[in-house]
Structure 1
Protein backbone atom coordinates (compact mmCIF):
# COMPACT_ATOMS: atom_id res chain seq x y z
CA UNK A 1 0.00 0.00 0.00
CA UNK A 2 2.74 2.48 0.92
CA UNK A 3 4.69 1.59 -2.24
CA UNK A 4 1.61 2.35 -4.36
CA UNK A 5 1.11 5.67 -2.57
CA UNK A 6 4.73 6.69 -3.22
CA UNK A 7 4.50 5.63 -6.87
CA UNK A 8 1.38 7.74 -7.44
CA UNK A 9 3.00 10.67 -5.63
CA UNK A 10 5.98 10.56 -8.00
CA UNK A 11 3.69 10.31 -11.04
CA UNK A 12 1.62 13.37 -10.04
CA UNK A 13 4.52 15.49 -8.67
CA UNK A 14 3.42 15.18 -5.04
CA UNK A 15 6.67 13.71 -3.72
CA UNK A 16 8.94 16.78 -3.86
CA UNK A 17 11.81 17.71 -6.14
CA UNK A 18 14.98 16.92 -4.17
CA UNK A 19 16.37 14.53 -1.59
CA UNK A 20 15.54 16.87 1.30
CA UNK A 21 11.90 17.10 0.27
CA UNK A 22 11.77 13.33 -0.25
CA UNK A 23 13.11 12.87 3.28
CA UNK A 24 10.45 15.11 4.81
CA UNK A 25 7.68 13.24 2.96
CA UNK A 26 9.10 9.85 3.98
CA UNK A 27 9.25 10.86 7.67
CA UNK A 28 5.60 11.98 7.69
CA UNK A 29 4.44 8.85 5.83
CA UNK A 30 6.31 6.57 8.24
CA UNK A 31 4.85 8.30 11.32
CA UNK A 32 1.35 8.03 9.87
CA UNK A 33 1.84 4.36 8.93
CA UNK A 34 2.80 3.37 12.49
CA UNK A 35 -0.11 5.32 13.96
CA UNK A 36 -2.59 3.72 11.52
CA UNK A 37 -1.34 0.21 12.34
CA UNK A 38 -2.05 0.75 16.04
CA UNK A 39 -5.43 2.28 15.23
CA UNK A 40 -6.49 -0.64 13.02
CA UNK A 41 -5.33 -3.11 15.66
CA UNK A 42 -7.65 -1.54 18.23
CA UNK A 43 -10.54 -1.61 15.75
CA UNK A 44 -10.03 -5.30 14.95
CA UNK A 45 -9.84 -6.34 18.61
CA UNK A 46 -13.32 -5.00 19.39
CA UNK A 47 -16.36 -7.16 18.65
CA UNK A 48 -19.28 -4.75 19.20
CA UNK A 49 -19.78 -1.09 18.31
CA UNK A 50 -19.87 -0.01 21.94
CA UNK A 51 -16.64 -1.84 22.67
CA UNK A 52 -15.03 -0.38 19.54
CA UNK A 53 -16.01 3.16 20.54
CA UNK A 54 -14.60 2.68 24.04
CA UNK A 55 -11.32 1.25 22.68
CA UNK A 56 -10.88 4.11 20.21
CA UNK A 57 -11.52 6.71 22.89
CA UNK A 58 -8.86 5.14 25.06
CA UNK A 59 -6.51 4.91 22.07
CA UNK A 60 -6.85 8.63 21.36
CA UNK A 61 -6.01 9.44 24.95
CA UNK A 62 -2.90 7.21 24.85
CA UNK A 63 -1.42 7.65 21.36
CA UNK A 64 -3.03 10.57 19.51
CA UNK A 65 -1.23 13.22 21.54
CA UNK A 66 2.25 11.96 20.65
CA UNK A 67 1.36 11.58 16.99
CA UNK A 68 -0.10 15.09 16.69
CA UNK A 69 2.83 16.66 18.56
CA UNK A 70 5.33 15.12 16.15
CA UNK A 71 3.36 16.39 13.15
CA UNK A 72 3.01 19.85 14.69
CA UNK A 73 6.73 20.34 15.39
CA UNK A 74 8.31 18.53 12.43
CA UNK A 75 9.21 21.80 10.68
CA UNK A 76 11.19 22.90 13.72
CA UNK A 77 13.13 19.64 13.76
CA UNK A 78 14.07 19.78 10.05
CA UNK A 79 14.40 23.59 9.86
CA UNK A 80 12.44 23.68 6.61
CA UNK A 81 11.02 26.93 5.09
CA UNK A 82 7.90 28.23 6.76
CA UNK A 83 4.54 27.54 5.15
CA UNK A 84 1.16 25.94 5.78
CA UNK A 85 2.33 22.60 4.35
CA UNK A 86 5.26 20.29 5.05
CA UNK A 87 7.07 21.44 1.90
CA UNK A 88 6.33 25.13 2.45
CA UNK A 89 3.71 26.36 0.00
CA UNK A 90 3.68 23.16 -2.09
CA UNK A 91 1.12 20.40 -1.47
CA UNK A 92 2.60 16.92 -1.11
CA UNK A 93 1.36 13.41 -0.48
CA UNK A 94 2.30 13.85 3.18
CA UNK A 95 -0.31 16.60 3.62
CA UNK A 96 -3.03 14.46 1.99
CA UNK A 97 -2.30 11.38 4.12
CA UNK A 98 -2.31 13.43 7.34
CA UNK A 99 -5.57 15.11 6.27
CA UNK A 100 -7.24 11.72 5.74
CA UNK A 101 -6.06 10.35 9.11
CA UNK A 102 -7.08 13.43 11.10
CA UNK A 103 -10.51 13.44 9.39
CA UNK A 104 -11.19 10.00 10.83
CA UNK A 105 -10.01 11.12 14.29
CA UNK A 106 -12.23 14.21 14.22
CA UNK A 107 -15.28 11.97 13.82
CA UNK A 108 -14.40 10.50 17.21
CA UNK A 109 -13.39 13.79 18.87
CA UNK A 110 -14.35 17.05 17.08
CA UNK A 111 -12.18 19.16 19.46
CA UNK A 112 -9.03 17.20 18.74
CA UNK A 113 -7.16 20.03 16.93
CA UNK A 114 -8.04 22.80 19.32
CA UNK A 115 -4.43 22.90 20.65
CA UNK A 116 -2.65 22.38 17.29
CA UNK A 117 -2.64 25.62 15.33
CA UNK A 118 -0.34 24.55 12.46
CA UNK A 119 -2.27 21.37 11.73
CA UNK A 120 -5.56 23.28 11.80
CA UNK A 121 -4.21 25.97 9.43
CA UNK A 122 -2.84 23.35 6.99
CA UNK A 123 -6.22 21.61 7.01
CA UNK A 124 -8.08 24.83 6.20
CA UNK A 125 -5.67 25.66 3.36
CA UNK A 126 -6.14 22.21 1.83
CA UNK A 127 -9.93 22.51 1.91
CA UNK A 128 -9.71 25.85 0.06
CA UNK A 129 -7.74 24.37 -2.83
CA UNK A 130 -10.04 24.31 -5.92
CA UNK A 131 -9.46 20.71 -6.94
CA UNK A 132 -9.67 19.33 -3.44
CA UNK A 133 -12.76 21.44 -2.70
CA UNK A 134 -14.57 20.01 -5.75
CA UNK A 135 -13.62 16.49 -4.71
CA UNK A 136 -14.86 16.98 -1.14
CA UNK A 137 -18.15 18.52 -2.30
CA UNK A 138 -18.83 15.64 -4.71
CA UNK A 139 -18.04 13.17 -1.95
CA UNK A 140 -20.50 14.85 0.41
CA UNK A 141 -23.23 14.76 -2.25
CA UNK A 142 -22.67 11.06 -2.80
CA UNK A 143 -22.92 10.41 0.93
CA UNK A 144 -26.20 12.34 1.16
CA UNK A 145 -27.69 10.43 -1.80
CA UNK A 146 -26.70 7.10 -0.33
CA UNK A 147 -28.24 7.99 3.02
CA UNK A 148 -31.51 9.02 1.37
CA UNK A 149 -31.78 5.89 -0.76
CA UNK A 150 -30.79 3.32 1.84
CA UNK A 151 -33.44 0.83 2.93
CA UNK A 152 -33.55 -1.47 5.86
CA UNK A 153 -32.21 -4.94 5.07
CA UNK A 154 -34.72 -7.82 5.09
CA UNK A 155 -34.93 -9.90 8.21
CA UNK A 156 -33.26 -13.28 8.35
CA UNK A 157 -36.55 -15.12 8.90
CA UNK A 158 -38.31 -13.57 5.92
CA UNK A 159 -35.36 -14.31 3.64
CA UNK A 160 -35.29 -17.88 4.93
CA UNK A 161 -39.02 -18.29 4.32
CA UNK A 162 -38.69 -17.01 0.75
CA UNK A 163 -35.79 -19.33 -0.04
CA UNK A 164 -37.52 -22.26 1.66
CA UNK A 165 -40.75 -21.64 -0.25
CA UNK A 166 -38.86 -21.34 -3.54
CA UNK A 167 -36.93 -24.54 -2.87
CA UNK A 168 -40.07 -26.40 -1.81
CA UNK A 169 -42.09 -25.30 -4.85
CA UNK A 170 -39.21 -26.34 -7.14
CA UNK A 171 -39.14 -29.82 -5.59
CA UNK A 172 -42.93 -30.15 -5.83
CA UNK A 173 -42.87 -29.24 -9.52
CA UNK A 174 -40.15 -31.82 -10.20
CA UNK A 175 -42.06 -34.57 -8.35
CA UNK A 176 -45.29 -33.67 -10.18
CA UNK A 177 -43.62 -33.89 -13.61
CA UNK A 178 -41.96 -37.18 -12.62
CA UNK A 179 -45.26 -38.76 -11.52
CA UNK A 180 -47.04 -37.45 -14.60
CA UNK A 181 -44.38 -39.03 -16.85
CA UNK A 182 -44.53 -42.40 -15.05
CA UNK A 183 -48.33 -42.67 -14.91
CA UNK A 184 -49.72 -42.39 -18.43
CA UNK A 185 -53.54 -42.00 -18.55
CA UNK A 186 -55.44 -45.15 -19.74
CA UNK A 187 -57.25 -44.95 -23.11
CA UNK A 188 -60.98 -44.28 -23.02
CA UNK A 189 -63.07 -46.79 -25.08
CA UNK A 190 -66.30 -45.38 -26.42
CA UNK A 191 -69.37 -47.62 -26.18
CA UNK A 192 -72.99 -46.97 -27.00
CA UNK A 193 -74.00 -47.46 -23.37
CA UNK A 194 -71.39 -45.08 -21.92
CA UNK A 195 -72.06 -42.04 -24.10
CA UNK A 196 -73.45 -40.00 -21.25
CA UNK A 197 -70.46 -40.78 -19.01
CA UNK A 198 -68.03 -39.90 -21.80
CA UNK A 199 -69.71 -36.55 -22.41
CA UNK A 200 -69.51 -35.71 -18.73
CA UNK A 201 -65.83 -36.72 -18.63
CA UNK A 202 -65.20 -34.51 -21.67
CA UNK A 203 -66.70 -31.56 -19.85
CA UNK A 204 -64.57 -32.23 -16.77
CA UNK A 205 -61.23 -32.98 -18.40
CA UNK A 206 -59.92 -30.35 -20.81
CA UNK A 207 -58.06 -32.71 -23.17
CA UNK A 208 -58.83 -36.47 -22.69
CA UNK A 209 -57.23 -39.12 -24.85
CA UNK A 210 -59.92 -40.72 -27.10
CA UNK A 211 -59.15 -43.78 -29.20
CA UNK A 212 -62.40 -43.68 -31.22
CA UNK A 213 -61.85 -43.28 -34.94
CA UNK A 214 -63.27 -40.16 -36.50
CA UNK A 215 -64.98 -40.84 -39.84
CA UNK A 216 -63.40 -39.04 -42.73
CA UNK A 217 -65.36 -37.80 -45.76
CA UNK A 218 -65.19 -39.99 -48.86
CA UNK A 219 -62.67 -38.96 -51.44
CA UNK A 220 -62.33 -39.72 -55.10
CA UNK A 221 -59.23 -41.79 -54.66
CA UNK A 222 -59.54 -45.21 -53.16
CA UNK A 223 -57.68 -45.86 -49.94
CA UNK A 224 -56.79 -49.18 -48.56
CA UNK A 225 -58.75 -49.96 -45.42
CA UNK A 226 -56.90 -51.84 -42.72
CA UNK A 227 -59.00 -54.74 -41.49
CA UNK A 228 -58.49 -57.00 -38.50
CA UNK A 229 -56.41 -60.10 -38.88
CA UNK A 230 -59.39 -62.54 -38.91
CA UNK A 231 -61.30 -60.57 -41.55
CA UNK A 232 -58.20 -60.27 -43.68
CA UNK A 233 -57.70 -64.04 -43.56
CA UNK A 234 -61.34 -64.65 -44.57
CA UNK A 235 -61.02 -62.22 -47.43
CA UNK A 236 -57.83 -63.87 -48.65
CA UNK A 237 -59.44 -67.32 -48.47
CA UNK A 238 -62.49 -66.09 -50.39
CA UNK A 239 -60.30 -64.62 -53.12
CA UNK A 240 -58.34 -67.87 -53.38
CA UNK A 241 -61.49 -70.00 -53.56
CA UNK A 242 -62.89 -67.69 -56.25
CA UNK A 243 -59.76 -68.10 -58.31
CA UNK A 244 -59.90 -71.90 -58.02
CA UNK A 245 -63.59 -71.89 -59.03
CA UNK A 246 -62.82 -69.79 -62.09
CA UNK A 247 -60.02 -72.14 -63.07
CA UNK A 248 -62.38 -75.16 -62.87
CA UNK A 249 -65.17 -73.59 -64.91
CA UNK A 250 -65.04 -74.04 -68.68
CA UNK A 251 -63.63 -71.20 -70.59
CA UNK A 252 -66.16 -69.17 -72.49
CA UNK A 253 -65.03 -67.68 -75.76
CA UNK A 254 -64.97 -63.96 -75.98
CA UNK A 255 -68.07 -62.09 -76.93
CA UNK A 256 -66.66 -60.78 -80.19
CA UNK A 257 -66.13 -64.24 -81.52
CA UNK A 258 -69.70 -65.21 -80.67
CA UNK A 259 -71.37 -62.22 -82.27
CA UNK A 260 -69.28 -62.15 -85.42
CA UNK A 261 -70.58 -64.68 -88.06
CA UNK A 262 -68.25 -67.41 -89.15
CA UNK A 263 -66.46 -66.79 -92.36
CA UNK A 264 -66.72 -69.77 -94.68
CA UNK A 265 -64.16 -69.97 -97.41
CA UNK A 266 -65.56 -71.15 -100.70
CA UNK A 267 -63.62 -74.04 -101.93
CA UNK A 268 -63.54 -74.86 -105.58
CA UNK A 269 -64.87 -78.21 -106.30
CA UNK A 270 -62.48 -80.44 -107.99
CA UNK A 271 -63.58 -81.48 -111.48
CA UNK A 272 -64.77 -84.99 -111.53
CA UNK A 273 -64.01 -87.28 -114.42
CA UNK A 274 -66.99 -87.94 -116.70
CA UNK A 275 -67.24 -91.35 -118.10
CA UNK A 276 -68.20 -91.50 -121.78
Structure 2
Protein backbone atom coordinates (compact mmCIF):
# COMPACT_ATOMS: atom_id res chain seq x y z
CA UNK A 1 0.00 0.00 0.00
CA UNK A 2 1.34 3.34 -0.99
CA UNK A 3 1.36 6.11 1.58
CA UNK A 4 0.67 9.54 0.20
CA UNK A 5 1.58 12.82 1.89
CA UNK A 6 -2.12 13.56 2.08
CA UNK A 7 -2.63 10.44 4.23
CA UNK A 8 0.21 11.39 6.55
CA UNK A 9 -1.21 14.87 7.00
CA UNK A 10 -4.65 13.40 7.67
CA UNK A 11 -3.23 11.04 10.31
CA UNK A 12 -1.40 13.88 11.98
CA UNK A 13 -4.55 15.98 11.91
CA UNK A 14 -6.63 13.18 13.45
CA UNK A 15 -4.01 12.62 16.17
CA UNK A 16 -4.01 16.34 16.86
CA UNK A 17 -7.83 16.35 17.15
CA UNK A 18 -7.76 13.38 19.50
CA UNK A 19 -5.17 15.11 21.71
CA UNK A 20 -7.18 18.32 21.52
CA UNK A 21 -10.33 16.43 22.44
CA UNK A 22 -8.63 14.91 25.47
CA UNK A 23 -7.24 18.22 26.72
CA UNK A 24 -10.44 20.16 26.06
CA UNK A 25 -12.53 17.46 27.71
CA UNK A 26 -10.38 17.64 30.83
CA UNK A 27 -10.49 21.44 30.91
CA UNK A 28 -14.23 21.60 30.30
CA UNK A 29 -14.78 18.97 32.98
CA UNK A 30 -12.86 21.12 35.45
CA UNK A 31 -14.81 24.18 34.33
CA UNK A 32 -18.12 22.35 34.72
CA UNK A 33 -17.10 21.20 38.21
CA UNK A 34 -16.26 24.77 39.20
CA UNK A 35 -19.59 26.10 37.87
CA UNK A 36 -21.64 23.41 39.60
CA UNK A 37 -19.72 23.92 42.86
CA UNK A 38 -20.37 27.67 42.65
CA UNK A 39 -24.07 27.08 42.13
CA UNK A 40 -24.22 24.69 45.07
CA UNK A 41 -22.44 27.14 47.34
CA UNK A 42 -24.91 29.90 46.37
CA UNK A 43 -27.86 27.83 47.53
CA UNK A 44 -29.30 29.46 50.65
CA UNK A 45 -28.01 28.09 53.91
CA UNK A 46 -30.04 25.82 56.14
CA UNK A 47 -33.03 27.63 57.60
CA UNK A 48 -32.82 28.99 61.13
CA UNK A 49 -35.38 27.51 63.47
CA UNK A 50 -36.37 28.61 66.94
CA UNK A 51 -34.29 25.88 68.58
CA UNK A 52 -31.14 27.01 66.74
CA UNK A 53 -31.29 30.37 68.49
CA UNK A 54 -29.01 30.74 71.53
CA UNK A 55 -30.42 31.16 75.00
CA UNK A 56 -30.65 34.65 76.43
CA UNK A 57 -28.01 33.84 79.01
CA UNK A 58 -25.37 32.91 76.41
CA UNK A 59 -25.66 36.11 74.37
CA UNK A 60 -25.26 38.28 77.50
CA UNK A 61 -24.90 41.92 76.35
CA UNK A 62 -24.93 41.18 72.63
CA UNK A 63 -28.02 43.22 71.83
CA UNK A 64 -27.80 42.42 68.13
CA UNK A 65 -27.32 38.89 66.75
CA UNK A 66 -26.28 38.79 63.11
CA UNK A 67 -26.73 35.15 62.09
CA UNK A 68 -26.83 36.21 58.42
CA UNK A 69 -23.50 38.08 58.65
CA UNK A 70 -24.73 41.08 56.66
CA UNK A 71 -23.38 43.92 58.81
CA UNK A 72 -19.81 44.91 59.58
CA UNK A 73 -18.13 44.41 62.93
CA UNK A 74 -17.96 48.20 63.37
CA UNK A 75 -21.71 48.52 62.84
CA UNK A 76 -22.39 45.66 65.24
CA UNK A 77 -20.23 47.28 67.93
CA UNK A 78 -21.90 50.66 67.44
CA UNK A 79 -25.39 49.20 67.76
CA UNK A 80 -24.40 47.21 70.84
CA UNK A 81 -23.09 50.38 72.50
CA UNK A 82 -26.25 52.29 71.60
CA UNK A 83 -28.60 49.64 72.97
CA UNK A 84 -26.43 49.10 76.04
CA UNK A 85 -26.63 52.82 76.78
CA UNK A 86 -30.40 52.69 76.32
CA UNK A 87 -30.69 49.93 78.91
CA UNK A 88 -28.45 51.79 81.38
CA UNK A 89 -30.49 54.99 81.04
CA UNK A 90 -34.05 53.66 80.91
CA UNK A 91 -34.05 49.92 81.74
CA UNK A 92 -35.74 49.36 78.37
CA UNK A 93 -34.11 46.58 76.37
CA UNK A 94 -34.02 46.12 72.61
CA UNK A 95 -32.88 42.90 70.96
CA UNK A 96 -32.25 42.70 67.19
CA UNK A 97 -31.95 39.34 65.44
CA UNK A 98 -30.89 38.99 61.81
CA UNK A 99 -31.26 35.56 60.20
CA UNK A 100 -30.59 34.33 56.68
CA UNK A 101 -33.82 32.44 56.12
CA UNK A 102 -36.74 30.98 58.05
CA UNK A 103 -38.11 27.47 58.21
CA UNK A 104 -40.72 26.62 55.59
CA UNK A 105 -44.08 28.09 56.56
CA UNK A 106 -42.55 30.40 59.17
CA UNK A 107 -42.89 34.18 58.95
CA UNK A 108 -40.91 36.93 60.59
CA UNK A 109 -43.92 37.71 62.82
CA UNK A 110 -44.48 34.11 63.96
CA UNK A 111 -40.76 33.61 64.54
CA UNK A 112 -40.47 36.87 66.49
CA UNK A 113 -43.44 35.99 68.71
CA UNK A 114 -42.05 32.51 69.45
CA UNK A 115 -38.54 33.84 70.15
CA UNK A 116 -39.94 36.62 72.36
CA UNK A 117 -41.73 34.02 74.47
CA UNK A 118 -38.66 31.77 74.55
CA UNK A 119 -36.37 34.53 75.78
CA UNK A 120 -38.94 36.13 78.10
CA UNK A 121 -41.32 33.36 79.20
CA UNK A 122 -42.59 35.25 82.27
CA UNK A 123 -45.02 38.12 81.51
CA UNK A 124 -43.25 40.38 84.01
CA UNK A 125 -40.04 40.00 82.00
CA UNK A 126 -41.72 41.07 78.76
CA UNK A 127 -43.00 44.49 79.79
CA UNK A 128 -39.83 46.49 79.01
CA UNK A 129 -38.54 44.41 76.10
CA UNK A 130 -38.44 44.98 72.34
CA UNK A 131 -37.54 42.30 69.79
CA UNK A 132 -36.89 43.05 66.13
CA UNK A 133 -36.41 40.14 63.71
CA UNK A 134 -35.16 40.54 60.13
CA UNK A 135 -35.10 37.74 57.54
CA UNK A 136 -32.53 38.67 54.87
CA UNK A 137 -33.75 36.12 52.31
CA UNK A 138 -37.02 38.01 51.87
CA UNK A 139 -36.10 41.24 53.69
CA UNK A 140 -39.19 40.74 55.81
CA UNK A 141 -39.17 41.98 59.40
CA UNK A 142 -41.33 42.07 62.51
CA UNK A 143 -41.19 43.95 65.82
CA UNK A 144 -42.60 42.76 69.16
CA UNK A 145 -43.01 45.14 72.12
CA UNK A 146 -43.84 44.63 75.78
CA UNK A 147 -46.68 46.42 77.61
CA UNK A 148 -44.42 49.10 79.09
CA UNK A 149 -43.01 49.86 75.64
CA UNK A 150 -46.33 50.23 73.82
CA UNK A 151 -47.04 53.80 75.06
CA UNK A 152 -43.65 54.84 73.65
CA UNK A 153 -43.68 52.77 70.47
CA UNK A 154 -47.25 52.86 69.22
CA UNK A 155 -48.45 50.57 66.46
CA UNK A 156 -47.98 53.39 63.93
CA UNK A 157 -44.41 54.04 65.06
CA UNK A 158 -43.64 50.31 65.11
CA UNK A 159 -44.96 49.93 61.55
CA UNK A 160 -42.96 52.98 60.47
CA UNK A 161 -39.76 51.62 62.03
CA UNK A 162 -40.11 48.35 60.14
CA UNK A 163 -41.52 49.52 56.81
CA UNK A 164 -39.58 52.79 56.48
CA UNK A 165 -36.57 53.19 58.80
CA UNK A 166 -35.49 49.56 58.38
CA UNK A 167 -36.68 48.86 54.85
CA UNK A 168 -35.88 52.00 52.86
CA UNK A 169 -32.09 51.42 52.84
CA UNK A 170 -32.70 47.76 52.00
CA UNK A 171 -34.86 48.64 49.01
CA UNK A 172 -32.09 50.98 47.87
CA UNK A 173 -29.35 48.41 47.44
CA UNK A 174 -29.54 46.14 50.52
CA UNK A 175 -27.69 48.65 52.71
CA UNK A 176 -27.89 46.60 55.90
CA UNK A 177 -25.38 48.65 57.87
CA UNK A 178 -27.23 51.89 57.27
CA UNK A 179 -30.60 50.21 57.80
CA UNK A 180 -29.75 48.75 61.21
CA UNK A 181 -27.91 51.86 62.41
CA UNK A 182 -30.90 54.06 61.52
CA UNK A 183 -33.26 51.64 63.23
CA UNK A 184 -31.28 51.38 66.47
CA UNK A 185 -30.82 55.17 66.63
CA UNK A 186 -34.54 55.81 66.12
CA UNK A 187 -35.54 53.28 68.79
CA UNK A 188 -32.98 54.78 71.17
CA UNK A 189 -34.53 58.23 70.69
CA UNK A 190 -38.11 57.05 71.13
CA UNK A 191 -37.44 54.76 74.10
CA UNK A 192 -35.33 57.36 75.93
CA UNK A 193 -38.11 59.95 75.82
CA UNK A 194 -36.75 62.06 72.95
CA UNK A 195 -38.96 63.22 70.06
CA UNK A 196 -39.41 60.61 67.37
CA UNK A 197 -36.99 61.54 64.54
CA UNK A 198 -39.20 59.69 62.10
CA UNK A 199 -38.11 57.70 59.07
CA UNK A 200 -35.19 58.80 56.88
CA UNK A 201 -35.90 61.22 54.06
CA UNK A 202 -36.53 59.61 50.69
CA UNK A 203 -33.95 60.67 48.12
CA UNK A 204 -34.60 59.85 44.47
CA UNK A 205 -31.30 58.51 43.17
CA UNK A 206 -32.76 56.63 40.26
CA UNK A 207 -30.56 56.24 37.19
CA UNK A 208 -31.15 54.87 33.76
CA UNK A 209 -30.94 51.11 33.76
CA UNK A 210 -28.10 49.69 31.66
CA UNK A 211 -29.13 47.84 28.54
CA UNK A 212 -26.94 44.85 29.34
CA UNK A 213 -27.66 42.12 31.90
CA UNK A 214 -25.89 42.03 35.23
CA UNK A 215 -23.84 39.00 36.16
CA UNK A 216 -26.31 37.98 38.86
CA UNK A 217 -29.20 38.20 36.35
CA UNK A 218 -27.70 35.66 33.94
CA UNK A 219 -29.47 32.32 34.12
CA UNK A 220 -27.03 29.83 35.59
CA UNK A 221 -28.95 27.06 33.88
CA UNK A 222 -27.95 28.46 30.48
CA UNK A 223 -24.29 28.39 31.51
CA UNK A 224 -24.54 24.70 32.36
CA UNK A 225 -26.30 24.02 29.05
CA UNK A 226 -23.47 25.74 27.17
CA UNK A 227 -20.83 23.74 29.00
CA UNK A 228 -22.63 20.44 28.36
CA UNK A 229 -23.01 21.39 24.71
CA UNK A 230 -19.29 22.11 24.43
CA UNK A 231 -18.46 18.78 26.03
CA UNK A 232 -20.66 16.95 23.54
CA UNK A 233 -19.16 18.88 20.62
CA UNK A 234 -15.62 18.19 21.84
CA UNK A 235 -16.43 14.49 21.79
CA UNK A 236 -18.44 14.18 18.56
CA UNK A 237 -16.39 16.41 16.22
CA UNK A 238 -13.10 14.44 16.50
CA UNK A 239 -15.00 11.13 16.18
CA UNK A 240 -16.78 12.35 13.05
CA UNK A 241 -13.50 13.61 11.61
CA UNK A 242 -11.81 10.30 12.26
CA UNK A 243 -14.77 8.44 10.72
CA UNK A 244 -14.50 10.54 7.56
CA UNK A 245 -10.76 9.90 7.50
CA UNK A 246 -11.33 6.14 7.67
CA UNK A 247 -13.75 6.31 4.75
CA UNK A 248 -11.24 8.29 2.70
CA UNK A 249 -8.49 5.87 3.69
CA UNK A 250 -10.57 2.88 2.57
CA UNK A 251 -11.31 4.58 -0.76
CA UNK A 252 -7.61 5.31 -1.30
CA UNK A 253 -6.67 1.67 -0.56
CA UNK A 254 -9.28 0.49 -3.04
CA UNK A 255 -7.90 2.74 -5.74
CA UNK A 256 -4.35 1.52 -5.02
CA UNK A 257 -5.43 -2.10 -5.36
CA UNK A 258 -7.13 -1.37 -8.65
CA UNK A 259 -4.04 0.31 -9.96
The answer to whether TM tops 0.5 is no
User: What is the TM-score of this pair, normalised by structure 1?
Assistant: 0.28
Higher RCO structure (Cα 8 Å, ≥6 apart)? 2
Q: Which has the higher helix share?
A: 1
